[in-house]
């Protein structure tokens, strides 16, 4: 038996236990050198897998240096991030989430988010209107957008209006996303606008009108996709001539890769694709979390990440990347209205749009 | 107690598989069944009542059964002669035929669906062939139509029709047919009276295989028909994955299961009966 000896703060006599402690501490020092030496604090971000490249290149290095912090980026899907927050609600390990707006609404409903304020995130004051949601629960740091993707071999001039898709010459040549996909919803609002002729803010709730107008599109539909790559492959092969509500991030990338496709921003306007960022309530190192969001909402970072993601910046000081629509009407989507009614719309779509 | 245990010790060989299925098939299935008949206030059939009350769901059931039957029929028409040829072939030819039938199984359904997209499109091979032969005046759309789906699905499931029939045909003594011939029976008469009855068990299990695979297929209709054509399987997938309505998903899954099980059990009983009389 070894006797435990405590001798106050001055001297420590060597016992087996003190030796073990020292050994353990040394071992920890070797195993985790970064943490011990630099004393860097860490934040974990739950985002999309597709965000990883630009986070790691354009955001992480500068941020880690400036704040002497470490960022761990967990790239997955929005709903998975929501689940991570729900499961660890009592002891959150994520500090920040980068998720789609519809999923943000669910997170707000469950009380998982901490509001952002101008006091904590000064760059919030520099954002375009319509990019801060539910009293600062989350903000949009980028706006990839949805317009019309078209085959450049078939259509020599870009479609100028969404209504062109109704032209009988496009019989069986139009593709739209399913309402199951988030990108499928704007078509519903656009067709409500086309049906009523009223401005979008007044028209979008007229879902009856939207479905009535969509009946006119039916003969022109080639298919309703749930897998976007399939839709683009049909467009590139020339079997389809247009995809209504296509994502700029996908369409512009394909154009860059040399595919005969391009994106049009028609006169009725385009829709921003929700790229939201929020602070997790009670998450670790909240001050760092707010600092990170401030960086992402700043003009400097946005001007770096907007071009490779084919998105519009949300900070008014950040320039619109070349090749992007500069004067297009941008409609905001009422995601709370979507969340309330989406299942009903999907059901109705099945019945009324069936082939 | 002991008398409940099987006397034939060979039957114990099925134990690992039974145990595996009990844990990974039967238990989740019972859970699924439970979910479809237990509401917030105890046992209820209200989910099924509202499911069957909706006219649209009957259309979905119709879609599911029609496509599965057509796929089975096309596979049978193409597969039966192949199985006969395969049993007759010898040596290298048989190896090549078998490889040609089995190898496509290693190509994923998604890859096949994309390949079919190229074949079925308006300037694809089939449209060109039909226009060149004068059957069509101008190229028409095959992609995202029911015929396109049936052709594509039959292509994927064909091996499951050919192999069971082949395994039965190769056991038939060729002298039976020869004996018929010496007695003056015509080839058609010999086929009808000798080959067809003897291959019936294989034919029925092949049909059961293809039917149950095509009645529950999910990826193929999603890729070859898109979102405008719902079957019980795609409706189930959507209830779980998108609408998060697990009760409705369980109900549609149970309807699908009952349909598939009754077909498979029915055909097994039929095949045993025919096997006995043949």
Report the C-alpha gap between B200 and B191 in whole angstroms: 12
- The yes/no answer to whether this complex scores an ipTM above 0.85 is no
Quick check: A262 and A158 in contact, CB under 8 A?
yes
Helical residues (DSSP H) of chain B, grouped into ranges: 15-21, 27-37, 46-53, 55-88, 91-102, 109-120, 125-132, 146-169, 174-182, 187-190, 196-215, 219-224, 232-241, 246-277
Report the C-alpha gap between A321 and A324 in whole angstroms: 6
Closest alpha carbon to A355 in B17, B12, B34, B231: B231
Residues in B closer than 8 angstroms to A238, CB to CB, are: 123
Reading the block at residue A155, the tokens are: 């259509």
pLDDT of A280 reads: 96
In which residue ranges of chain B is pLDDT below 50?
1
Distance from CA of B56 to the nearest CA of A (A): 7
Q: Are B121 and A237 in contact (CB < 8 Å)?
A: yes
Residue A307 and residue A216 share a domain = no
Q: Is the dihedral of CA B270, B275, B276, B278 positive or negative?
A: positive
Residue A1 has pLDDT above 60, yes or no: no
Q: A74 vs A47, A62, A68, A85, CA distance in Å?
A: 6, 18, 20, 13
Residue A291 and residue A154 share a domain = no
pLDDT of A26 reads: 46
pLDDT of A4 reads: 40
Q: Are B144 and A233 in contact (CB < 8 Å)?
A: no
Q: List all residues 6 or more positions away from A47 whose beta carbon is below 8 Å from its beta carbon.
A: A55, A73, A74, A75, A76, A81, A97, A98, A99
pLDDT of A309 reads: 87
Residue A139 and residue A93 share a domain = yes
Residue A242 and residue A148 share a domain = yes
Residue A283 has pLDDT above 60, yes or no: yes
Residue A222 and residue A95 share a domain = no
Please tell me which residue, A329 or B114, carries the higher pLDDT value: A329
pLDDT of A21 reads: 53
Q: Are A343 and B245 in contact (CB < 8 Å)?
A: yes
Confirm whether pTM is higher than 0.90. no
Report the C-alpha gap between A65 and A223 in whole angstroms: 49
Q: Which residues pair with residue A224 across a beta bridge?
A: A176
B227 vs A224, A233, A234: nearest CB: A224
Residue A106 has pLDDT above 70, yes or no: yes
Q: Residue for token digits 């029911």?
A: B146
Residue A348 and residue A254 share a domain = yes
- Best mutation target, B56, B226, B241, B242, to test chain A (most A CBs within 10 A): B226
Residue A107 and residue A162 share a domain = no
pLDDT digits (tens, 9 = 90+) for A112-122: 999 999 999 99
pLDDT level of residue A182 (50, 70, 90 thresholds): confident
Residue A7 lies in a domain: no
Residue A95 lies in a domain: yes
The residue of chain A with its CA nearest to that of B114 is: A230
Distance from CA of B143 to the nearest CA of A (A): 8
Residue A97 and residue A201 share a domain = no
Quick check: A167 and A178 in contact, CB under 8 A?
no
Distance from CA of B267 to the nearest CA of A (A): 32
Q: B203 vs A258, B163, B259, B272, CA distance in Å?
A: 50, 10, 20, 12
Q: How many domains does chain A have?
A: 2
Report the C-alpha gap between A350 and B229 in whole angstroms: 8
Residue A36 has pLDDT above 70, yes or no: no
Average pLDDT, chain A: 87
DSSP structure string for A187-214: HHHHHHHHHH-S-HHHHTT-HHHHHHHH
pLDDT of A35 reads: 45
Residue A200 lies in a domain: yes
Number of C-beta neighbours around residue A121 at 10 A: 25
- Best mutation target, A102, A183, A218, A355, to test chain B (most B CBs within 10 A): A355
A172 touches chain B (CB under 8 A): yes
pLDDT digits (tens, 9 = 90+) for B48-64: 998 999 999 999 999 99
Report the C-alpha gap between A282 and A254 in whole angstroms: 41
Quick check: A330 and A200 in contact, CB under 8 A?
no
Residue A157 lies in a domain: yes
Quick check: A210 and A189 in contact, CB under 8 A?
yes
Q: Give mean pLDDT, residues A303-307.
A: 92
pLDDT of B247 reads: 82
Residue A23 lies in a domain: no
pLDDT digits (tens, 9 = 90+) for A45-57: 999 888 888 899 8
DSSP structure string for B170-231: TTS-HHHHHHHHHTT--HHHHIIIIIHHHHHHHHHHHHHHHHHHHHS--HHHHHHTGGGS--
pLDDT of A184 reads: 92
CATH assignment at residue A120: 3.40.190.10
Domains of chain B: 68-277 (1.10.3720.10)
Q: In Å, how far from its chain's centre is CA B241?
A: 24
Q: List all residues 6 or more positions away from A210 whose beta carbon is below 8 Å from its beta carbon.
A: A188, A189, A191, A192, A195
Q: Give mean pLDDT, residues A298-312.
A: 92
pLDDT of B3 reads: 57
A230 touches chain B (CB under 8 A): yes
**Domain span including residue A218:** 144-272+332-353
Residue A79 lies in a domain: yes
Report the C-alpha gap between A279 and A96 in whole angstroms: 5
Residues in B closer than 8 angstroms to A350, CB to CB, are: 56, 230
Report the C-alpha gap between B259 and B238 in whole angstroms: 19
pLDDT digits (tens, 9 = 90+) for A168-178: 999 999 999 99
Q: List all residues 6 or more positions away from A14 whose beta carbon is below 8 Å from its beta carbon.
A: none
Residue A336 and residue A262 share a domain = yes
pLDDT digits (tens, 9 = 90+) for A70-92: 999 998 878 889 989 999 999 99
Please tell me which residue, A350 or A2, carries the higher pLDDT value: A350
Q: Is the dihedral of CA A202, A207, A213, A219 positive or negative?
A: positive
pLDDT of A12 reads: 40
Residue A181 and residue A194 share a domain = yes
Q: Residue for token digits 């226009």?
A: B131
Q: Are B225 and A355 in contact (CB < 8 Å)?
A: yes
Residue A62 and residue A177 share a domain = no
Residue A7 has pLDDT above 50, yes or no: no
pLDDT of B138 reads: 87
Report the C-alpha gap between A117 and B169 in whole angstroms: 77
B228 vs A224, A233, A239: nearest CB: A224
Q: Which helix (H) or strand (E) holds A42?
A: strand A41-48
Residue A45 lies in a domain: yes
Report the C-alpha gap between B227 and A349 in whole angstroms: 9
Residue A5 has pLDDT above 70, yes or no: no
Q: Give mean pLDDT, residues A312-335.
A: 89
Closest alpha carbon to B167 in B19, B271, B239, B42: B271
Residue A54 lies in a domain: yes
pLDDT of B112 reads: 87
Helical residues (DSSP H) of A32-163, grouped into ranges: 33-38, 52-54, 60-67, 78-87, 101-109
pLDDT level of residue A310 (50, 70, 90 thresholds): confident
Residue A246 and residue A125 share a domain = no
Q: Give mean pLDDT, residues A263-285.
A: 93
Quick check: A43 and A284 in contact, CB under 8 A?
yes
């Amino acid at each position: 038996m070894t006797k435990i000896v405590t001798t106050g703060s001055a001297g420590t006599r060597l016992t087996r236990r003190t030796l073990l402690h020292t050994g353990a501490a040394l071992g920890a020092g070797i195993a985790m050198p970064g943490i011990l030496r630099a004393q860097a604090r860490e934040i974990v971000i739950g985002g999309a897998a597709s965000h990883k490249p630009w986070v790691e290149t354009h955001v992480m290095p500068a941020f880690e240096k400036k704040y002497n912090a470490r960022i761990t980026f967990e790239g997955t899907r929005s709903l998975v991030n929501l689940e991570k927050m729900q499961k660890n609600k009592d002891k959150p390990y994520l500090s920040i989430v980068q998720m789609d707006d519809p999923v943000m609404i669910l997170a707000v409903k469950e009380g998982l988010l901490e509001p952002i304020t101008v006091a904590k995130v000064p760059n919030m004051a520099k954002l375009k209107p319509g990019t801060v949601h539910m009293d600062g629960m989350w903000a949009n740091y980028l706006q990839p957008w949805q317009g019309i993707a078209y085959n450049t071999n078939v259509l020599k001039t870009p479609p100028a209006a969404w209504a062109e898709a109704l032209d009988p010459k496009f019989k069986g040549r139009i593709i739209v996303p399913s309402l199951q996909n988030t990108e499928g919803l704007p078509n519903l609002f656009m067709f409500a606008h086309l049906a009523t002729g009223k401005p979008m803010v007044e028209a979008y709730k007229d879902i009856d009108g939207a479905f009535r107008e969509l009946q006119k599109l039916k003969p022109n539909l080639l298919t309703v996709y749930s897998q976007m790559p399939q839709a683009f492959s049909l467009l590139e092969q020339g079997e389809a001539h247009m995809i209504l509500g296509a994502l700029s991030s996908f369409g512009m990338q394909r154009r860059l890769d040399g595919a005969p496709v391009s994106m049009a921003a028609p006169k009725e306007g385009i829709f921003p694709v929700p790229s939201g960022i929020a602070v997790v309530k009670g998450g670790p190192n909240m001050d760092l979390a707010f600092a990170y969001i401030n960086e992402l909402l700043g003009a400097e970072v946005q001007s770096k990440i907007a071009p490779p993601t084919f998105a519009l910046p949300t900070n008014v000081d950040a320039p619109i990347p070349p090749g992007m629509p500069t004067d297009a009407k941008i409609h905001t989507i009422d995601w709370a209205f979507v969340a309330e009614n989406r299942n009903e719309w999907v059901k109705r779509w099945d019945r009324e749009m069936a082939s | 107690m002991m008398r409940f245990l099987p006397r034939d010790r060979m039957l114990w060989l099925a134990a690992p598989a039974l145990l595996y299925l009990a844990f990974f098939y039967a238990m989740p299935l019972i859970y699924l069944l439970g979910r479809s008949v237990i509401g917030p206030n105890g046992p209820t059939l209200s989910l099924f009542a509202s499911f069957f009350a909706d006219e649209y769901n009957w259309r979905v059931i119709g879609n599911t059964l029609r496509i599965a039957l057509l796929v089975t029929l096309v596979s049978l028409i193409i597969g039966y002669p192949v199985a006969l040829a395969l049993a007759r072939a010898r040596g290298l030819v048989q190896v090549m035929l078998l490889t040609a039938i089995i190898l496509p199984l290693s190509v994923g359904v998604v890859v096949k669906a994309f390949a079919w997209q190229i074949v079925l499109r308006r300037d694809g091979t089939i449209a060109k062939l039909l226009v060149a032969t004068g059957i069509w005046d101008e190229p028409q759309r095959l992609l995202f139509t029911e015929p396109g789906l049936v052709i594509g699905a039959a292509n994927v499931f064909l091996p499951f029709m050919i192999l069971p029939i082949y395994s039965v045909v190769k056991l038939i003594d060729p002298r039976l047919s020869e004996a018929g011939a010496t007695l003056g029976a015509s080839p058609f008469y010999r086929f009808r009276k000798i080959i067809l009855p003897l291959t019936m068990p294989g034919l029925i299990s092949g049909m059961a295989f293809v039917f149950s695979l095509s009645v529950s297929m999910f990826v193929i209709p999603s890729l070859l028909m898109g979102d405008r054509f719902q079957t019980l399987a795609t409706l189930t997938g959507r209830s779980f994955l998108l609408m998060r309505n697990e009760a409705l998903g369980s109900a549609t899954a149970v309807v699908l299961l009952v349909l598939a099980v009754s077909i498979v059990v029915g055909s097994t009983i039929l095949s045993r009966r025919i096997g006995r009389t043949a």
